[in-house]
Every structure is written in structure tokens, then in C-alpha cells.
Amino acid sequence: MIALLTGPVASLEADRCIIDVRGVGYLVQASTRTLAALPTPPASARVLVETLVREDAILLFGFADAAERDWFRLLTTVQGVGAKVALGILSALSAAELAGAIAAGDRNALTRAPGVGPKLAIRLLTELRDKAGAMRTDGGAGLAPAVPATGLAADVLSALANLGYRRAEAQPVVERALAAAGNVATLDSLLRASLSNLAK
């Protein structure tokens, strides 16, 4: 079973990406949160993977961190929640938001996810109420650039972290801003460009 992929991001699409591992492209389906955290191709990344083997296919699902992967595993134990619906839920709600919605019995929060109607939301609340408290909501080990940021990029990432942005969220934005600015990049210009993109 494949549990982790490390390599250049070959392509990014709306609901999946391709990770190039030594010349072999692995098609990985993922939530919009994980895809947003991936660096711009062809930068390298590490992606946690859950492998689903069917009679007609081997499917790979990628996650930004261990919390998201663990929630995916738990969600797919609920009747009526397949991999696609689970990814939809994880796209609409972070691990912390999902845990909070279940603890509070917030059916409306769950129905924001595609494929989750009122009946399925009630089933999720009923079946996961006792299990959600034990689930992690912090990122833990997971998706990260294979090469750490240094120099100017590291300074911008540090500033963004002080403003409350997660590294996985900020790094691809900083890398794009740095590539666009080229040799004229300054700490101030990169920080402004990154904040502008993150605000979108």
C-alpha cells in the first residue's frame, strides 16, 4: 500500500494532482485544502496517501496532514460516505471545524459540503459524536516542501506565521510571489504581494 509520496508536483487540477516520483506520475485525488497547500509545479512536496484498492482500479487520496487523513478514514466508515463525499466534507471544513461541528451537533455546517444532505448530516452527527473527541485537529506530520525555504522567502514565511497564517497555506503563495518578482524582490514587496494573494 502507498502511504507517502515525495516528488515534484507535475500538475494541479480542481480535484486532483499528479506527483512525479522518479519518473512515475501518481494521480492523487485530494480536498481543495490539500491542493491549495501544494507548491506550484514543478516544486517538490511530500503528500500523505490513503490507498483504496478496488477490483477495477487502485485509487490514491492525498492529504496535507495526518489530521485530514485520519478524518478521511473516519468519515468513510459512515454508511453513505464514500471517498468523494469525504473529500467534499474536508474541502468545506477543516479538521478543527469538523470536530467542532460534530461536538456542537451543527447539522447546517455539515450540509455546506457537497453531497451531504440533512439525513446524511444527522447520520454523521449520530455515528461520529462519540469518536470525534478522540480525533486530532492539529496538522501533525504531513505535506511539506522537500526543500526548506531559505533567505528572503523564509523571512516572509516567518512574518506571515506571526500574522496567523499556516506554513502550508503561505509557502506556495510566497514562492509564486518570489518567482514573479525575480531579482527585484524585497521583503516588503514580497510580504505585500503574499498578503494580497492570501486575502483572495
Q: What is the CATH classification number for the domain harbouring 86?
A: 1.10.150.20
Same domain as 85, residue 126: yes
Q: Is 54 domain-assigned?
A: yes
In sequence order, what are the beta bridge partners of 29?
16, 61
Same domain as 72, residue 116: yes
CA torsion sign for 116, 128, 133, 68 is negative
Q: Is 139 domain-assigned?
A: no
Q: Is 138 domain-assigned?
A: no
In terms of residue numbers, what domain contains 112? Answer: 66-132
**How many domains in the chain?**
3
Same domain as 59, residue 27: yes
Residues in CB range of 187: below 8 A, 6 or more apart: 152, 155, 156, 159
| CATH number of the CATH domain containing 169 | 1.10.8
In order along its 200 residues, the chain shows pLDDT tens digits of 899 999 999 999 989 999 999 999 999 999 999 998 898 899 999 999 999 999 999 999 999 999 999 999 999 999 999 999 999 999 999 888 898 889 889 999 999 999 999 999 999 999 998 888 778 666 554 444 433 444 677 788 778 877 877 766 777 788 778 777 766 778 888 888 888 888 76
Residue 43 falls in which region: left (phi positive, over 0), alpha (psi -120 to 50) or beta: beta
